[in-house]
Amino acid sequence: MVTGAAAPRTDVDRGSRRWLPWRRTTNAGPPADPAVDTLSGLGHRTLLSERGPAALSASKRSGQPVAVLLFDLDGFKHVNDTLGHAAGDRVLEEVGARIRACLRPGELGVRLGGDEFAALLGPLDASRTLDQRVGELLDTLSVPIRVDDLRLSVGTSVGSAVYGTDGRTIEELLRAADQAMYVAKASGPGQWRRSQGPPADDGDARRLQQDLRRAVDLGQLLLHYQPQVDGWTGAVTGFEALVRWDHPRLGLLLPGQFIPLAERNGMIAPITLFALDRALVDHAALARMAPGCSVSVNVSARIMMGGGLLRDLEQMLERRGVAPSDLVLEITEPAARPTPEVVELFGGLRRLGCRMSVHGFGSSQSSLTGLWQHSALREVKIDPSIIQSLGDDAETERLVRAMVSAAHGLGVRVVAEGVESRIAAQRLRSIGCDGLQGHWLGAPAPLPELQRWLEGWPALRSHRLGL
């Protein structure tokens, strides 16, 4: 959280060379209004309940979407614990001022409590406008905050929900945005995720939580595998294991429908251990299909920090007879100043011989510092949100080209995730991406369907890659 030592106060952040317009209003303080939170200057939660329905009704009449955003500050507890509550209050005051500065006439920002905030944006011209607005907010909130003689970098996780698509009341939209925010937080600091649809009601959510606690023991979890191909030749080099829940009543559930719940109720650890063990069991079949392939598994930050991961991995690899180099652990980007426990874990994984990959790379404040510091990190996966705009955005292509060049300079392999078109595949090949992954090449599938895909891939390869 603390990114530097003493620095003079100024209206210009000399690191980013950006003018901070909200500083002109911070000292004046918020108006003495009972509907306004005196610390942040934003409205209380009740204000969203009072004014929100009118905005939703207007959206329904006009056909122009409105969106609810939910913000949660990353590492805020660390500020309070290390610098005191006065510093924490200063951070909340500044965050509130910055959110206010980004709102347009008619829009609403509220503090829900603690370090959680919400905003009602719109009417929006189009769905893409939401991308731009959230990007502006994240840029504004990412500028370091000055507290006395310190500059604090406070990351923000954001979830969004759109009226009509993700809910029809303010409370439904808040629940949907909350689920999306937890997906974002699980992906690493400074992330944004859209809702994947309306959440279940409270009763259904409680039943789903109870069902999830039994899912591992009842054998309801399973893995689908998405192929990864060499960026130049198209040869199959590996598979990413993606967990699914075969719910007896709701059918096949995708990760976005239950992983946020698992993160909150403590079930993410047994789910991750299941995925690791099942992937190692299946590696024998995968290797017969594609000799020399690797299998990658997403590992949450919570299980990495919980202790015992290295011991569990050693036991599983030995029990399943898989070489450590054939297993890739996909993680979120480590902090620029990792804790001693993380450093020790990364060192242990390197000695064990497991490979590590940083997924979602480039989606927020990514840097190559962690790759330089940790020799175990030898791969990055560029975030799908970047790849999706590659075909029609020259700036995105320059960004990807720079990321690939910098990573290669450190001896780091680059995989593009979310390849959904022939144009994207061609551009990525010309840029020099080492690996490609996405539905255009091959969708996630259970082992029997994967065999059929592999049999048909040689005939599809030239067309899909634009060879």
- pLDDT > 70: what percent of the chain? 83
Q: Counting beta carbons within 10 angstroms of the beta carbon of residue 452, is it exposed (0 to 12), middle (13 to 18) or buried (19 or more)?
A: exposed
Q: Which helix (H) or strand (E) holds 18?
A: strand 18-19
> What b/e sequence results for 249-279 when a residue is b if at least 16 CB atoms lie within 10 Å of its CB, and e otherwise?
eeeebebebbbbbbbeeebbbbbbbbbbbbb
Neighbouring-strand partners of residue 327: 295
The answer, yes or no, to whether residue 163 has pLDDT greater than 80, is yes
Per the CB < 8 A criterion, the answer to whether 73 and 115 are in contact is yes
Q: Which domains does the chain have, with CATH numbers?
A: 2-199 (3.30.70.270), 205-465 (3.20.20.450)
The answer, yes or no, to whether residue 88 has pLDDT greater than 80, is yes
Neighbouring-strand partners of residue 275: none
What is the pLDDT, as a whole number, of residue 334? 64
| For range 59-70, the mean pLDDT | 86
Of residues 363, 407, 402, 404, the one with CA closest to residue 385: 363
DSSP label at 123?
Answer: -
Q: Residue 306's pLDDT band (boundaries 50, 70, 90)? A: low
- What is the arrangement of strands in the sheet containing 2-4, beginning at the earlier edge strand? 2-4, 150-152, 145-147
Integer CA distances (angstroms), 265 to 116, 271, 382, in order: 19, 12, 29
Neighbours of 121 (CB within 10 A): 25
Token code pair at residue 413: 């392999």
Task: Give the C-alpha separation, 438 to 442, whole Å.
Answer: 6
Mean pLDDT taken over the chain:
82
Phi, then psi, of 72 in degrees rounded to 5? -135, 130
Of residues 147, 41, 159, 31, the one with CA closest to residue 100: 41
The secondary structure of 155-219 as a DSSP string is EEEEEEEETTTS-SSHHHHHHHHHHHHHHHHHT-TT-EEE--SPPPPHHHHHHHHHHHHHHTTTT
Task: Give the C-alpha separation, 439 to 171, whole Å.
Answer: 34
The answer, yes or no, to whether residue 356 has pLDDT greater than 80, is yes
What is the pLDDT, as a whole number, of residue 106? 87
**Tens digits of residue pLDDT in 110-148:** 998 888 999 999 888 765 678 888 888 888 888 888 887
The answer, yes or no, to whether residue 175 has pLDDT greater than 80, is yes
Identify the residue with better confidence: 144 or 365: 144
Q: Residue 371's pLDDT band (boundaries 50, 70, 90)? A: low
Per the CB < 8 A criterion, the answer to whether 325 and 354 are in contact is yes
Instruction: Count how many residues are written for the chain.
Output: 467
Identify the residue with better confidence: 115 or 189: 115
Token code pair at residue 152: 């604090």
Identify the residue with better confidence: 271 or 15: 271
| For range 292-310, the mean pLDDT | 83
What is the pLDDT, as a whole number, of residue 35? 76
Strands (E), 258-364: 294-298, 327-331, 355-361
Identify the residue with better confidence: 203 or 259: 259
Task: Give the C-alpha separation, 188 to 185, whole Å.
Answer: 5
- pLDDT > 90: what percent of the chain? 33
Q: Looking up tokens 């061609």, which residue turns up?
A: 426
What is the pLDDT, as a whole number, of residue 338? 59
> What b/e sequence results for 124-134 when a residue is b if at least 16 CB atoms lie within 10 Å of its CB, and e otherwise?
beeeebbeebb
**Tens digits of residue pLDDT in 399-440:** 899 989 988 988 899 999 989 889 899 999 999 999 999 999
